[in-house]
Amino acid sequence: MGSQEVKTLCFTGEPEVGTCIEAMLKAGGFTQAKVADADVVFTYRISESELEDLYYESSGILQLSKKDAVLIDLSPSTVSFAQELCAMGSVSEKHVLDAPLVIKDILAPDAFSKSQNLGIVAGGSEDVFKRVEPMLRSIASHVMWMGKAGCGQSTKIALTLSSAATLVGLVEAYTAMRVSKVSIDEEDFVDVASAFSMLTPAQESFVQALSENDFEDASFTIEYAMGELAAALASVDDNDLILPQAEACFRLMELLAMVGGVSYDPSALKLVFADEETSKKYGLDWSRVEGAYDHSKSDHECDCDDNCDCGHHHHHDSQSGSSGYISFSSN
């Protein structure tokens, strides 16, 4: 590929993410352009089915972007999708990087807007990566090339699965502590857990958030968290791998989304264990999930039908090797 400097960009996808990405790139000295004119096109979608539409439709990015453009997907997706997109880009004389965002503090109210809170793990041609690296470093404070196409997503998946296990563990530990017949001061718990090197600073912040009940001022919501974990589970499904801990975390998120907590931050997972009075206080309605679960269904299959009245819109992804996952958006 040519080694010409990249100067212009376009973002398409989730508006909340796009506003932040465009602002950081503008501050880095880069100029916005239309898809057809941009040197680099960035994308971010929560759902892989929406991501497929974004690229593959007749008026999609692969069709509209110019020859030799670099297409950088910041979304969480499966490894197979990342590899397929790279191959399709090559056929279309475009260059593709899978470069999913890594969020350091998922509870930050401005999780996507500060480069210090973002990392990027990239897969694809190293030459292409080096060409756009200045742009990537305008977005994220930690940027790494991980290898060929799909390696960025593979790294992201491992990080997502590790994070999911931590979330479930902390929520369950907090819940067990709260329902104990003896009273334990939450700060004392954090102090002793830290003393035994059982909590990182980020985990300490998460435990603190569990006690504060401030779920609503979120930018990285349960919807985003579900998108990341669903992509990870779909990718390991491709390899016939079952991960009970990650499955449990996904089901907790799914429950919270179904009863009305999709726009809350991940610390709201503790509400899955809350009593009825507390649930109502935070606008959750457990009647929405009565009879929703049919255990004869395969993993990741939506537990509501298309006409359910659970209060959210459901997207059923049909990824290769997966029975699909649910993306929720508030009405």
Tens-place pLDDT, residues 31-50:
999 999 999 999 999 999 99
pLDDT score of 324 = 35
- Beta strands (DSSP E) in the chain are 8-13, 31-32, 40-44, 70-73, 95-98, 101-103, 118-123, 142-147, 312-316, 326-330
CATH superfamily of 8-149: NAD(P)-binding Rossmann-like Domain (3.40.50.720)
pLDDT score of 4 = 66
pLDDT score of 140 = 97
Q: Name the band, by pLDDT with cuts 50, 70 and 90, for residue 29.
A: very high
Q: What is the mean pLDDT of the chain?
A: 86
In the chain, the percentage of residues whose pLDDT exceeds 70 is 86
Tell whether the model's pLDDT for residue 8 goes beyond 90.
yes
Q: Name the band, by pLDDT with cuts 50, 70 and 90, for residue 315.
A: very low
Span 104-119, mean pLDDT?
A: 93
> In this predicted model, what pLDDT tens digit does every residue of 60-88 receive, in sequence order?
999 999 999 999 999 999 999 999 999 99
Domain ranges of the chain: 8-149, 155-325
Closest-CA residue to 325 (of 316, 258, 221) = 316
Question: How many residues are listed for the chain in this entry?
Answer: 331
For 155-325, CATH gives 1.10.1040.10
Which residue type sits at 318?
Answer: S
* Contact partners, residue 265, CB within 8 Å, separation at least 6: 106, 107, 209, 215, 217, 218, 220, 221, 222
Calpha distance 327→313 (Å, rounded):
8
Query: What totals of helices (H) and strands (E) does the chain contain, helices first?
Result: 11, 10
